[in-house]
Amino acid sequence: MFKPLDPLLHSELRLAVMSLLIGAESAEFPYIKEQTGATAGNLSVQLDKLATAGYITVEKTFKGKRPCTLCSITPVGLKAFEEYVETLREYLNPSQ
């Protein structure tokens, strides 16, 4: 029997965000937007969902007078991502 995939991570944009944050200590909103090709509105909604679940932190600061949104993966998010990847591996290799 296959384990269920985490529905929060089983979204293309949320999975892309988590994948970017796995390899970085943190990332700014414009960088994530550029890398994912998402609209600002959609990305904001998806970041909020990940933050609400405790998978990422979203820190709103300023660089000079300009707003800066900085996202980082949390230990909870890292564990969820690793479990998601492991479950996908089981889907791809069910006999192992």
Residues in the chain: 96
Burial 15-25 (b: 16+ CB within 10 A, else e): bbbbebbeeee
Could you give all domains of the chain from N- to C-terminal order, each with its CATH number? 12-87 (1.10.10.10)
pLDDT above 90 for 85: yes
CA distances from 12 to 35, 62, 67, 68, 73 (A): 13, 29, 27, 24, 17
Q: What is the pLDDT of residues 39-78, one digit of tens each?
A: 999 999 999 999 999 999 999 999 899 999 999 999 999 9
pTM of the model: 0.91
Q: How far apart are CA 26 and CA 20, in angstroms?
A: 9
In the numeric block, the tokens 């390899």 are attached to 23
